[in-house]
């Protein structure tokens, strides 16, 4: 059927079928499939602080660092931003358009913390597709003392380091004093001459301590911590207060001696109920804070504080009639 059909066409249309093979156009496959596909549009992203366009987040951040002095790695580390915090930061910069100096100077609560900044400002923003973990790999993170470091941040780091060193030193001294005090207490309990103490011989008394033991004993009361614990012991402190306030006749117009006065709390209780004169004695350094407390409560005309051991001070020179 096909052959007969072709033959019939040749008879009816001789001009159409009489074509030389050389005149036939060639059909060929170029092998270039990309030529048949639409080229993908080139995506660019705008700088955070100017109108410049870039083809990648890396180029954008490099431009911000060199031209605007804005280091995205430093800011991210400074505020401890995670992925969502980074997204909020980019959208904040896109929407509010602050200057780089303003952003670098932010030290308090970040103004981009609101959830509103999770919504993209620019469609297909390349910066929002950037993995912030790459900041560490690219070396775009603040290095302490580096040329790109934030001076204000470095100053705060140095100040914090100084405070930490001071705290460590004070802690070491306190631990040393505590160790000495613990050792002294053990020796005091184990070796005390009970019969001698009972007979008034003075064995085991503070007056019999050696110079090193003496210093350790009183130094342990020179720190705020032990006095804070005693004052926070409300049962103890309020019991002293209630007894003194409920028995003012015992203290009225009397001269009161407060041995180991510490912060001066009991001396002030006695002065409040009408004591004629109160003399507080303490060998530890806390007595200097007690003097300030007495002055703040306007009781310096009634209370006198003496630094020293009760065995050594001359109370006659401090007592006023």
Residue 273 has pLDDT above 50, yes or no: yes
Lowest mean pLDDT among 56-60, 166-170, 237-241, 258-262: 166-170
Q: Check residues 163 and 279 and name the one with the higher pLDDT.
A: 279
Lowest mean pLDDT among 41-45, 83-87, 192-196: 192-196
- Of the candidates 76, 74, 80, which has an alpha carbon nearest to the alpha carbon of residue 151? 74
**Encoded tokens for 78:** 């400074």
Q: How far apart are CA 313 and CA 317, in angstroms?
A: 9
Positive or negative: CA dihedral 313, 316, 319, 320? negative
Q: How far apart are CA 132 and CA 58, in angstroms?
A: 11
pLDDT, tens digit, 9 for 90 and up, residues 101-123? 999 888 878 899 888 899 999 88
* Residue-level pLDDT at 199: 45
Q: Say if residues 247 and 272 touch (Cβ distance below 8 Å).
A: no
* Residue-level pLDDT at 196: 43
* Residue-level pLDDT at 74: 87
Total-model pTM: 0.36
- Of the candidates 74, 80, 73, 69, which has an alpha carbon nearest to the alpha carbon of residue 57? 73
Residue 159 has pLDDT above 60, yes or no: yes
* Residue-level pLDDT at 203: 46
Confidence grade of residue 174 (pLDDT, cut at 50, 70, 90): confident
* Residue-level pLDDT at 200: 45
> Which CB contacts under 8 angstroms, 24+ apart, belong to 221-226?
221/260, 221/262, 221/282, 221/284, 221/286, 222/284, 222/285, 222/286, 223/174, 223/177, 223/286, 224/286, 224/289, 225/174
Q: Give the pairing type, strands 277-282 and 53-54.
A: unpaired
Residue 202 has pLDDT above 60, yes or no: no
pLDDT, tens digit, 9 for 90 and up, residues 81-97? 888 889 999 999 999 99
* Residue-level pLDDT at 108: 76
Q: Say if residues 71 and 65 touch (Cβ distance below 8 Å).
A: yes
* Residue-level pLDDT at 145: 43
Spell 182-197 as b/e; 16+ CB within 10 A means b. eebeeebeeeeeeeee
* Residue-level pLDDT at 228: 80
Q: Say if residues 196 and 204 touch (Cβ distance below 8 Å).
A: yes
Q: What percent of the chain has pLDDT over 90?
A: 29
Residues sharing a CB contact under 8 Å with residue 274, sequence separation 6 or more, in sequence order: 248, 251, 252, 253
Q: State CA 84 to chain mean position distance.
A: 21
């Amino acid at each position: 059927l096909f052959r007969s059909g072709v033959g019939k066409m040749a008879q009816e249309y001789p001009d159409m079928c009489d074509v030389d093979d050389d005149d036939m156009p060639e059909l060929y496959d170029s092998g270039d499939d990309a030529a048949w596909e639409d080229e993908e549009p080139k995506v660019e992203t705008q700088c955070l602080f100017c109108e410049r366009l870039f083809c990648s987040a890396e180029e954008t951040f490099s431009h911000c660092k060199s031209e605007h002095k804005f280091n995205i790695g430093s800011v991210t580390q400074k505020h401890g931003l995670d992925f969502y915090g980074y997204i909020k930061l980019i959208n904040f910069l896109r929407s509010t358009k602050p200057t780089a100096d303003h952003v670098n100077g932010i030290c308090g609560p970040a103004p981009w913390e609101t959830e509103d900044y999770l919504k993209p400002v620019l469609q297909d923003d390349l910066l929002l597709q950037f993995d912030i973990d790459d900041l560490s790999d690219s070396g775009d993170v603040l290095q302490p003392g580096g040329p790109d470091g934030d001076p204000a941040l470095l100053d705060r780091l140095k100040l914090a380091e100084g405070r930490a060193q001071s705290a460590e030193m004070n802690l070491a001294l306190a631990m040393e004093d505590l160790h000495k005090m613990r050792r002294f207490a053990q020796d005091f309990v184990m070796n005390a001459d009970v019969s001698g103490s009972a007979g008034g011989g003075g064995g085991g008394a503070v007056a019999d301590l050696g110079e090193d033991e003496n210093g350790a004993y009183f130094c342990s009361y020179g720190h705020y911590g032990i006095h804070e614990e005693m004052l926070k012991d409300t049962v103890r402190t309020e019991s002293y207060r209630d007894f003194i306030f409920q028995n003012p006749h015992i203290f009225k117009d009397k001269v009161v001696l407060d041995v180991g006065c510490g912060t001066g709390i009991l001396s002030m209780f006695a002065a409040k109920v009408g004591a004629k004169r109160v003399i507080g004695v303490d060998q530890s350094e806390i007595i200097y804070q007690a003097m300030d407390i007495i002055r703040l409560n306007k009781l310096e005309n009634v209370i006198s504080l003496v630094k020293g051991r009760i065995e050594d001070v001359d109370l006659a020179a401090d007592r006023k009639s």
